[in-house]
Chains A and B, each alone.
Chain A
Amino acid sequence: MTRNLLTDADQPAAVFTHRHLLGIEGLTPPEIVALLDLAEEAVDVSRQVEKKKSVLRGRTQINLFFEASTRTQSSFELAGKRLGADVMNMSVGSSSVKKGETLIDTAMTLNAMNPDILVVRHHAAGAVHLLAQKVGCSVINAGDGAHEHPTQALLDALTIRRHKGGFGELVVAICGDILHSRVARSNILLLNALGARVRCIGPSTLLPKALDRLGVEIFTDMKAGLADADIVMMLRLQRERMDGSFVPSVREYFHFFGLDQEKLGYAKPDALVMHPGPMNRGVEIDSAVADGAQSLIREQVEMGVAVRMAVLEALASHLPDQANFA
């Protein structure tokens, strides 16, 4: 049973009134729940033999990735195609950005091609917001610097909700490189909005200043931080940050912050393990845990497609000519 935003305007998903999805910030709890409900249906669609819907038929979706990505880009591509859109992928390697074109020029050029939806990833925080001000279409933030990655937070929330039923009193521990993580920021906002208790665990060098003001509990010790945790969310640590600049070595990082069976044992017995990918096995997570019974990592990927379908569908209801149509 699928719901169509165009015809069933009184359905909960219709509370989503934004033209863009630039971040979790600015979304109300009902809006988030509506997106999750919509995504739940997209899961069903994606599990059918016939996966096609026609919500975006005739629409053009451009995936504009200034930063390399495998899973997010392919996930958005699949989501768009399952909803019937024409999807074009542009990555930095084949674009004119390498030839010195500014972000705005690139945006204006693409805008002239009349796309309906732009999915943008950029290495600079705020770049997607800047772009959204300059184009006429809907913009989805697929990750901007260390700022936000809203669809990742939504897919994480969907995965959690399917296993835990809800968020109230749930203890979620986000572990590792919080400083550089857009996934962490979006998750903190979303989980707090839905009533979960959020903790951040990491070495002080990887915890941003004033993190406590974001409404999280801060730990620098995995044992203390994981106590009574329902969800253990590991973050990727990039290689260039383990050479003595932020942490001394991979060996030391894994020893104190890598999630292995022993450390997972500090959390609740039914705690679930998540990771936004791509994983560094043996750095932030042990293979036995990543592939173990408590791991939701592969399910997160499936939920990724569903959540992106939901976001595309929700935004589709506000595309200009459809507003007229309605």
Chain B
Amino acid sequence: MSAVSLRSEPRPLVLSNARIVDPGRKIDAFGTAIVIDGRIAHAGPGPTPALPEGAEIVDCRGRAVLPGLIDMRVFVGEPGAEHRETFASAGQAAAAGGVTTIVTMPDTDPVIDDVALVDFIARRARDTASVNVLPMAALTKGLKGREMTEFGLLKAAGAVGFTDGRHSITNALVLRRALTYARDFGALIMHHPADPDLVGSGVMNEGETATRLGLPGIPREAEIIMLERDIRIAALTGGRYHAAQISCAESLAVIRRAKASGLNVSCGVSATHLALNERDVGPYRTFYRLSPPLRSEDDRRAMVEGVADGSIDVIVSSHDPQDVDTKRHPFAEAADGAVGLETLLAAALRLVHNGEAELAAVVNALSTRPAALLGLEAGRIAPGAPADLILVDLGMPWICTTEALHSRSKNTPFEGSRFEGRVLRTIVAGRTVYSFADA
């Protein structure tokens, strides 16, 4: 496969002999995808129309073509912490991981709570990042959990949702008013359900492992109680509520009940929580310190089931670049967070390889469902949709090494992990922004 420069003029592209997987149209079949002017002109099995003039023709040899991944929870670092990650480096990491759209969190310095800052991100990302960057704006001014931001004006400026990122809203009235007000604008509210008082000084899942390690624990109830509260407020207000990440079996039960009663709620899980559990913390490895924390194996299995049956809507990377200044500390004093853009797909594909979930369910959670929640045209391989596509060798083995990471920060919990499934080419709006030969 030839190297393609980042900003080449998009000429027509033909992906032939491809296994096209489009959960939205329930397609998983061999066929051809044709891309013209940044959009999909044809995709699927059956007779192929005449190929466009001057097209680049790629024989996929039966490999998978999936809709590009849409990652709903990405911390970047720009503005304010460019030494950890910039839009440029996050864009490269995303492209290498098959992520064609990243949704950025407002926990930056300054906090993204103003129209001018949303505008800044949109322009800065357009100029420097190779993938789509969509900002979520702060839910409350300064992430202080007190006063809601200008949902209407921020949405018009391009904010795709509202969240306080790592922060939880402890004041139920603030959340009630925010969900009520957001409803008028059809705005999505994404919340991190973790009661800060119950989390307290906890640094990992409360249980045997924490006790053996002598580390303060975070009870599951910190998540479950707040999630239950949130669901009731969502019911009261009729607003669109999305739990950014859940981590416990019982949280999944709460979500299932809410959905069964017809509420407009959804939730996510990180690929890291699908792949790892609390035992992986091992000898105080700070790259495994996350929020929410890695839970027990039973909880992990429940998360996998949730993805398989669609109760969990989306899989996110929760990509959170941290440098040695925040991670090279004793476990209890280190920061939370792990990078994940480049391991998102491979970690999620483990579910498929283990026979725990269908490929369509995983692709749905990585692309189709997030697109629907965010109101994007992407997330599908259908004529007329933006040509955000990835070519994936689902079975190709590889080992994750920090040297090979494109992210500016190297805090991956998957160092040395063996994966099956590799992105060979990432296409954003018809333009190839990554191909495996480059690496």
A: which residues have CB within 8 A of B? 203-205, 220-221, 243-249, 251-252, 255-256
B181 close to A203 (CB less than 8 A): yes
* Interface 9-residue window, one of B127-135, B139-147, B306-314: B139-147
Report the minimum CB–CB distance from B46 to chain A (whole Å). 44
Q: B147, B181, B184, B237: which contacts A243 (Cβ < 8 A)?
A: B147
Beta-carbon contact of B152 and A256 below 8 Å: yes
Instruction: Check A255–B141 contact: CB distance below 8 A.
Output: no
Q: What's the nearest-Cβ distance from chain B to residue A260, in Å?
A: 16
Query: Quick check: A205 and B177 within 8 Å, CB to CB?
Result: yes
- B146, B152, B183, B237: the one within 8 Å of A252 (CB): B152
Checking A221, A244, A246, A249 against B184 with a beta-carbon cut-off of 8 angstroms, the contacting residue is A221
Q: Which residues of B contact A248 (CB under 8 A)?
A: 141, 147-152, 181
* Known pairs A244-B140, A247-B181, A248-B141 / 16 extra A-B pairs, C-beta < 8 Å: A203-B184, A204-B184, A204-B237, A220-B183, A220-B184, A221-B184, A244-B146, A248-B147, A248-B148, A248-B149, A251-B150, A251-B153, A252-B150, A252-B152, A255-B152, A256-B152
Indicate which residue in B150, B177, B183, B237 contacts A249 across the interface (CB closer than 8 Å): B150
B153 A252 Cβ-Cβ under 8 A: yes
The smallest beta-carbon distance between A17 and chain B, in angstroms, is 43
Asked whether A205 and B181 contact (CB < 8 A) given A243-B147, A244-B146, the answer is: yes
The residues of B that contact A252 with a CB separation of less than 8 Å are 150-153
Please give me the residue from chain B that is nearest to A204 by CB atom: B180
Name 14 interchain pairs, CB-CB below 8 A, sorted by A.
A203-B184, A205-B177, A205-B181, A244-B140, A245-B147, A245-B148, A245-B177, A247-B181, A248-B147, A248-B181, A252-B150, A252-B152, A255-B152, A255-B153
Q: Name the CB-closest residue of A to B182.
A: A204
Instruction: Please indicate the chain A residues that have their CB under 8 angstroms from the CB of B152 in the complex.
Output: 248, 252, 255-256
CB-CB under 8 A from B151, the residues of chain A are 248, 252
Interfacial residues, chain B to chain A (CB-CB below 8 A): 140-141, 146-153, 177, 180-181, 183-184, 237
Across-interface contacts of A205 in B (CB, < 8 A): 177, 180-181
- Nearest CB of B to A200, in Å: 13
Q: What is the distance, in angstroms, from A240's C-beta to the closest C-beta of chain B?
A: 12
> In the docked arrangement, what's the CA distance between A255 and B156, Å?
11
Min CB distance, B234 to chain A, in Å? 14
Point out the residues of chain A lying under 8 angstroms from B181, CB to CB. Answer: 203-205, 246-248
Report the separation of the CA atoms of residues A205 and B239 in the bound assembly, to the nearest whole angstrom: 12
| Residue numbers in A under 8 Å from B141 (CB-CB) | 244, 248
**Closest residue to B238 on the A side, CB-wise?**
A204
**Nearest Cβ in chain A — how far from B438, in angstroms?**
44
> Roughly how many angstroms separate A255 CA and B141 CA in the complex, as a whole number?
19
Least CB distance from B152 to A in Å reads: 5
Is B153 touching A244 in the complex (CB atoms < 8 A)? no
B153 neighbours in A (Cβ, 8 Å):
251-252, 255
In the assembled complex, the Cα of A148 lies from the Cα of B25 at a distance in Å of 56
Contacts of A251 on B, CB cut-off 8 Å?
Answer: 150, 153
Q: When chains A and B are docked, how far (Å) is the Cα of A204 from the Cα of B148?
A: 14
Determine the chain A residues whose CB is within 8 A of the CB of B177 once the complex forms. Answer: 205, 245-246
A247 vs B149: C-alpha distance when bound (angstroms):
8
The CB with the most chain A CB atoms within 10 A, among B140, B149, B152, B153, is that of B152
Cα–Cα, bound, A249→B114 (Å): 11
Give the residues in chain B near A256, CB-CB below 8 Å.
Answer: 152
Q: Could you tell me the distance between the alpha carbons of A243 and B150 in the complex, rounded to whole angstroms?
A: 10
In Å, the complex CA distance between A251 and B154 comes to 12
Chain B proximity of A246: nearest CB distance (Å):
7
Chain A contacts of B146 at CB under 8 A? 244
The CB with the most chain B CB atoms within 10 A, among A204, A220, A251, is that of: A204
| Cα-based distance from A247 to B148 in the complex (angstroms) | 7
Q: How far is the CA of A205 from the CA of B187 in the complex (A)?
A: 14
A251–B237 Cα distance when bound, in Å, is 24
Query: Chain B residues with Cβ under 8 A from A246's Cβ?
Result: 177, 181
- Measured CB to CB, the nearest residue on chain A to B156 is A255
A244/B147 contact (C-beta < 8 A), A251-B153, A252-B153 known? yes
* Pairs A-B, 8 closest by C-beta atoms: A244-B147, A252-B150, A220-B184, A248-B150, A204-B180, A205-B181, A205-B180, A205-B177
Q: Looking across the interface, which residue of chain A has its beta carbon closest to that of B184?
A: A220
> Please, which residues of chain A bring their CB within 8 A of the CB of B147?
243-245, 248
**CB nearest to A202 among chain B residues:** B184
The CA-CA distance from A247 to B181 in the complex, in Å, is 8
- Chain A residue at minimal CB-CB distance from B153: A252
Cβ contacts under 8 Å, A247 to chain B = 181
Of A204, A205, A248, A256, the most chain B CB neighbours within 10 A belong to A248
* Assembled-state Cα–Cα distance A244/B149 (Å): 7
- How far does the alpha carbon of A221 sit from the alpha carbon of B152 in the complex, in Å? 12
> CA of A115 to CA of B150 in the docked complex: distance in angstroms?
51
Complex-state Cα separation, A67 to B52, whole angstroms: 76
Residues of B within 8 A of A243 (CB): 147
Among B151, B153, B180, B181, which residue has the most Cβ atoms of chain A within 10 A? B181
Distance, CA A245 to CA B177, complexed state (A): 7
- Least distance between A247 CB and chain B CB atoms (Å): 7
Q: Shortest distance in angstroms between A249's beta carbon and chain B's nearest beta carbon?
A: 5
Q: In the assembled complex, which residues on chain A have CB atoms less than 8 Å from the CB atom of B150?
A: 248-249, 251-252
Q: How far is the CB of B106 from chain A (nearest CB, A)?
A: 14
* Least CB distance, B375 to chain A, in whole angstroms: 18
Question: How far in angstroms is the closest Cβ of chain B from A237?
Answer: 14
Q: Which of A244, A246, A249, A252 has the most CB of B within 10 A?
A: A244
Closest to B236 in A: A209
Contacts of A244 in B (CB 8 A): 140-141, 146-149
Closest to A256 in B: B152
- Please measure, in the bound complex, the distance between the C-alpha atom of A257 and the C-alpha atom of B237, giving whole angstroms: 21
Q: Shortest distance in angstroms between B145's beta carbon and chain A's nearest beta carbon?
A: 11
Q: Give the chain B neighbours of A255 by CB distance below 8 A.
A: 152-153
A6 to B153, CA, bound (A): 60
A255 to B152, CA, bound (A): 9
Given the complex of chains A and B, what is the CA–CA distance between A252 and B115 in angstroms? Answer: 11
B70 → chain A closest CB, angstroms: 27
In whole Å, how far is A280's beta carbon from the nearest beta carbon of chain B? 18
CB distance from A211 to the nearest CB of B (A): 13
Nearest neighbor of B173 in chain A, beta-carbon distance: A245
| Alpha-carbon gap, A248 to B174, bound state (A) | 11
CB contacts (< 8 Å) of A245 on chain B: these are 147-148, 177
Contacts of B180 in A (CB 8 A): 204-205
Min C-beta distance of A43 to chain B, whole Å: 40
Give the Cβ gap from B185 to chain A, nearest Cβ, in Å.
9
Q: How far is the CB of B113 from chain A (nearest CB, A)?
A: 10
